[in-house]
Structure 1
């Protein structure tokens, strides 16, 4: 694999110069801001602090991808996102459902066959195929909201997160469709909404952990 191969997948990029995607690059500040805010709020909740650090890495990785536009930068973009999903899911399984540590770990591994199934189904539908992996997350949040329907605060938190992410994925998916009418595209909105959504999901987790301490921990 050529790690320095250039990648052009967004309306805003017109060449391979460093600042060819200014909006897509600069709006990654949303992840950084969310991480800085949640870092302080996550004091005393180790997993929340870990998620906040990963959120910061998402912003850095995405910035590198939208400036360098190479395969190595793409890896730094997507790897923290995948890590965030798995770590958050583990936290939900262990601390909110709750499950014993090893059972929570095994349940978290269930994300892989679940994601494969969702990706396969959504790949058959043109619009959903564009961002098919990302649709696994709002759907999973809805599934967990149903599973935890006796916890109103968790349910509302998850459904709000799912709604924000659904809007975010939609903006990501229509980016290239709207190139002719919106030259700079809509991908930058994906960054802004994702920064809000991921920050919100960390907040939901912190809120639960602080509300249940020390009774359930």
Structure 2
């Protein structure tokens, strides 16, 4: 496989080159804003878990920036792997801190969730296309957030808000190509900005919850 092979995956890009997707590249700054928010939140609560998530958020911004400038196969991995790591770590922390499971159960639950997510994505792929892999995290945030909110438990509100924002974000990602002729800049930049909001809301939901016990 040619790891330097060119990938033209988004409406905005018309040709190879570092400046082929200026909007998609610049909007990755939102991830660094989310990371800075996470660091501030972590320092306020002495929360190592949220600090780890903040670090991953910064890596997500870096990886996505690389992909939307270099637009190669190796850069694609730099884009998607940190996202998967954030989802896995955040889901484990939700199980541990917000639902009260033991560290072992939370770790196993996160692993099983990541393993099952592609199957969920395959079921909805005809509807959401390449964004189908993100449907499982959307459903998880909505279901867990609603359950916590109905019981007036901490973290429910931010998770529900994160699910709502992510639903809009995923819609923008899905519409990037269908709306390309009408909106040449594409809608993928909106995916970046709203996803950064989602990361911040997830960190907000987790901030200080169980930090003292190291979970």
Answer whether TM exceeds 0.5 for this pair: yes
Distance in 2 (CA, whole Å) between partners of 1:185 and 1:135 is 21
In the alignment, the residues of structure 1 paired with residue 136 and residue 163 of structure 2 have an alpha-carbon distance, to the nearest angstrom, of 10
Q: Report 1:43-54 matches (<5 A).
A: 43=43, 44-54=46-56
- Please report how far the alpha carbon of residue 153 of structure 1 lies from its aligned counterpart in structure 2 after TM superposition: 4.0
Structure 1 residue aligned with 2:22: 22
1:127-206 to 2 correspondences below 5 Å: 127-148=127-148, 149-206=150-207
Give the conservation status (yes or no) of the 8 Å contact 2:47–2:208.
Answer: no
Q: Secondary structure at the match of 1:3?
A: coil
**How far apart, in 1, do the equivalents of 2:205 and 2:81 lie?**
23
Give yes or no for contact 2:88–2:114 (8 Å, CA) kept in 1. Answer: no
**Which residue in 2 is equivalent to 1:59?**
61
Aligned-partner Cα distance in 2 for 1:203–1:11: 33
- Can you give the 5+ residue segments of structure 1 that lack an aligned partner in the other structure? none
What stretches of structure 2 of length at least 5 have no aligned partner?
Answer: none
Shift of 1:96: 1.4
Q: CA deviation at 1:52?
A: 0.2
Give the aligned partner of residue 32 of structure 2: 32
Give the whole-Å Cα distance in 1 for the aligned partners of 2:26 and 2:14. Answer: 17
RMSD (CA atoms): 1.7
- What TM-score does the superposition give when structure 2 sets the normalisation length? 0.92
Q: Are the counterparts in 1 of residues 42 and 50 from structure 2 also a CA contact under 8 Å?
A: yes
C-alpha deviations, 1:142-186, integer Å up to 9, x for none? Answer: 221244342344222111000000000100110011111111111
In structure 1, C-alpha distance between the alignment counterparts of 2:157 and 2:40, rounded to whole Å? 23
Q: Mean Cα displacement is larger for which, 11-20 or 139-148? A: 139-148
How much has 1:205 moved relative to structure 2?
Answer: 0.7
Q: SS where residue 178 of structure 2 aligns?
A: helix
Counting matched residue pairs gives: 212
- Answer with 172-181 or 135-144: which moved more: 135-144
Distance 1:185 1:29 in 2: 17
Give the equivalent residue in structure 2 for 1:119.
121
SS in 1 for 2:17: coil
C-alpha contact (below 8 Å) 2:92/2:106 kept by paired residues: yes
